[in-house]
């Protein structure tokens, strides 16, 4: 999305330079570079937020809370089913343990996927920034030659 904004800005600036001959192209170029620095700063902030351990900490806290609730629910069920036959209690305990194991595995899988997505976003942002810089450098060299 940022790449589209950058392309739009370049287009607007070049069009503006053509029809406004009283404004020096150096000023427009400086403003454009200021904008690129601003976009880079925003990109860096997004990367820092994605890489922060806050997301991981919140996910870990959520997992711990969920597991605590599952254990409390299991204990409550065992207390309520005290008079029920031992066979049913054992089967229910196994099912709850299996569900707890599946839930733990699913949450761990989610944590791994979030890490992968975070790395992919970081890579994509870096590539987009480099592509924009390369395109702009080429475009600016062409403008300077004119």
List the CATH number of the domain containing 23: 1.20.120
Per-residue model confidence (pLDDT) at position 95: 92
Q: What is the pLDDT of residues 56-92, one digit of tens each?
A: 778 888 889 988 998 998 888 878 776 666 777 788 8
Cβ atoms 3, 131 nearer than 8 A: yes
Instruction: Report d(CA 14, CA 25) in Å as an integer.
Output: 9
pLDDT (average), residues 119-126: 86
Q: Which residue has the tokens 């860096």?
A: 44
CA–CA dist 8, 12 (Å, integer): 6
Distance, CA of 121 to CA of 49 (rounded, Å): 12
Cβ-proximal residues to 28 (8 Å cutoff; 6+ apart), any chain: 13, 16, 17
Reported as a pLDDT band with limits 50, 70 and 90, residue 102 is: very high
Per the structure, the complete domain to which residue 54 belongs is given by: 2-145
User: What per-residue confidence (pLDDT) applies to 85?
Assistant: 65
pLDDT surpasses 70 at 12: no
- Checking if the pLDDT of 110 tops 80, the result is yes
- Provide DSSP, 80-98: HTTTS-HHHHHHHHHHHHH
Give the total number of structural domains in the chain: 1
């Amino acid at each position: 999305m940022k790449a589209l904004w950058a392309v739009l800005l370049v287009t607007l600036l070049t069009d503006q330079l053509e029809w406004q001959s009283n404004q020096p192209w150096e000023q427009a170029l400086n403003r454009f570079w200021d904008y690129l620095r601003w976009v880079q700063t925003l990109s860096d902030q997004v990367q820092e937020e994605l890489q922060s351990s806050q997301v991981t900490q919140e996910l870990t806290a959520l997992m711990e809370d969920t597991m605590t609730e599952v254990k409390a629910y299991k204990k409550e069920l065992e207390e309520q089913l005290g008079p029920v036959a031992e066979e049913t209690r054992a089967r229910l305990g196994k099912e709850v343990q299996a569900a707890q194991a599946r839930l733990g595995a699913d949450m761990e899988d989610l944590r791994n996927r979030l890490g992968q997505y975070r790395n992919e976003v970081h890579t994509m942002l870096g590539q987009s920034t480099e592509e924009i810089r390369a395109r702009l450098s080429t475009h600016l060299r062409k403008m300077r030659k004119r």
